[in-house]
Amino acid sequence: MIEVAPDITDKMIIQIFSSGGFRLESWNYFTWKDVVFFKNKSGSYKGAALLIYRGDQEIYWTFITPEACQTLEIYREKWKSDIGNYPKPDDPLLKAVKYPVVHRLNALGVRKRVEKIVKQIGLRPPLQGKKRHEVPLDHGFRKYFNTMLRRAKVNFLDKEDMMGHQVGLERHYERYQEEDFERFPEYQKTILFLTISDEERLRLETQQKQQEIDELEKKSPKVEELVKRIEILEYGSKARDSEFLQALYAFEHGDKTRAAEVLIRMGFEFMAPEEQKRKLWKKMKNLKEEETLNISDFGELTGLSFKNLESDEYD
């Protein structure tokens, strides 16, 4: 459908309609001040919030995709080319092309343009014995929006709120920046589903993967620090001192089998650097039942052996 849209106005109608999920009559309300753009640090669009039914008791907010934002920016430049200046905040979001001055392209005009495109591509079969199709053409965009949000597993209450359904959630309408829109993170889950262009979808997927990599890189030092702190608690000097005292107590109370353990622990504590001691104690703690630890395991890290334990070098 987007491929055969003859001009930027039609492209904008299709992209905003399908990514916003609002009703046809909403086009009778939209002005440029109803759009709040969100941008990445690079200046690219993250999306935008779109106010539906300004001044009406059914007023609510929905969102549109980065793809629609880019088309809206191109449309804004064309507006300046046609009129001589950029649209004002109170100007209608869509202007009719047949008038020399700014005149709103209303809901009826939007419907006619969409019907023309659909007829051109043969999207709907001719009616046979019926006065109208089961799903009105303009309502198809809303149904598509609902389906994509469900497929993206958007929170049900957030989805209903974005569609203007009354769900008992608190609503605030005076919003000016991204931080004011607490439901936008849920909408972001569905941006790839609502993006029409394959090229734009690929760009967003690449951008999303890069953001995930950046987040992992930010978290990596914190994870490493946390692992180190856990190892200190489990295998550090306090943990080893506790085990040494247990072995010494058992030896002093008649368990002669603990003599070698006491001697090895004493010698190792004096000779090995702290990091090596933690590494060995971790190995000892993770031994399986059938495995044993012998003096050579200590020697791998420190050069310790029965021979040098008996020498004067460590006196």
Assigned CATH for 2-196: 1.10.443.10
This prediction's pTM? 0.63
pLDDT in tens, 87-128: 999 999 999 887 778 899 999 999 998 888 877 766 655 556
Q: Which long-range contacts (CB under 8 A, 24 or more apart) does 185-192 make?
A: 186/154, 186/155, 186/158, 186/159, 187/47, 187/63, 187/154, 187/158, 187/162, 188/46, 188/47, 189/152, 189/153, 189/154, 190/148, 190/149, 190/151, 190/152, 190/154, 191/47, 191/65, 191/66, 192/152
Greater pLDDT, 217 or 35: 35
Q: How confident is the model at residue 185 (pLDDT cuts 50, 70, 90)?
A: very high
Joined tokens for residue 17: 């309609």
Domain residue limits, the chain: 2-196, 236-314
